[in-house]
């Protein structure tokens, strides 16, 4: 099983930004409190130490011309990585930013995979394939 946290609304490119992009957007807009910014930075330091950056392994994985709409999903077995997401979701909630939690056994065509995550080109939506949880 795979898990993804993403915006409830599509952006101008028609994609649904993930949780980290949403929090980064709040930071770029200067909306995070000092404590939230400190959490964001320390959390990203943790991810940098414990999670491969797919773009460093394959620079084309998020290329919009080659793989428009590519999405990262955590493997459900990445328990520590998923636990770190909770603080990001709390920030989104406090700022009124909507998000969905998607779960799927087959989120799309795999472009990149490691022990904790996959990056996929999503399949067209199928009933029951991705179940938003609010």
As a whole number of Å, the end-to-end CA separation of the chain is: 18
Q: What is the pLDDT of residue 127?
A: 54
Q: What is the pLDDT of residue 13?
A: 87
Mean pLDDT of the 47-73 span: 95
Residue 89 included in any domain: yes
Residue 130 included in any domain: no
Q: What is the pLDDT of residue 124?
A: 77
In this predicted structure, the answer to whether residue 111 has a pLDDT above a threshold of 90 is yes
Residue 127 included in any domain: no
Residue 128 included in any domain: no
Question: For the chain, how many structural domains are there in total?
Answer: 1
Tokens representing residue 34 in the block: 């000092």
More confident residue, 96 or 130: 96
Mean pLDDT value across the chain: 93
Q: What is the pLDDT of residue 126?
A: 55
Mean pLDDT of the 115-134 span: 73
pLDDT in tens, 1-38: 999 999 999 999 888 999 999 999 999 999 999 999 99
- Give residue 39's domain range: 2-122
Residue 10 included in any domain: yes
Residue 70 included in any domain: yes
Q: What is the pLDDT of residue 128?
A: 53
Q: Structure pTM?
A: 0.88
Residue 132 included in any domain: no
In this predicted structure, the answer to whether residue 129 has a pLDDT above a threshold of 60 is no
């Amino acid at each position: 099983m795979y898990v993804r946290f993403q915006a409830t609304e599509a952006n101008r490119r028609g994609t649904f930004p993930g949780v980290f992009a949403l929090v980064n957007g709040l930071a770029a807009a200067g909306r995070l409190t000092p404590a939230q910014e400190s959490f964001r930075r320390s959390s990203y330091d943790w991810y940098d130490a414990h999670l491969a950056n797919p773009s460093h392994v394959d620079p084309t994985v998020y290329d919009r011309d080659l793989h428009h709409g590519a999405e990262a999903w955590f493997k459900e077995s990445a328990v520590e990585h998923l636990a770190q997401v909770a603080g990001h979701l709390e920030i989104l909630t406090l700022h009124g930013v909507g998000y969905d939690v998607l779960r799927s056994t087959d989120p799309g065509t795999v472009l990149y995979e490691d022990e904790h995550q996959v990056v996929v080109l999503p399949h067209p939506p199928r009933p029951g394939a991705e179940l938003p949880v609010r």
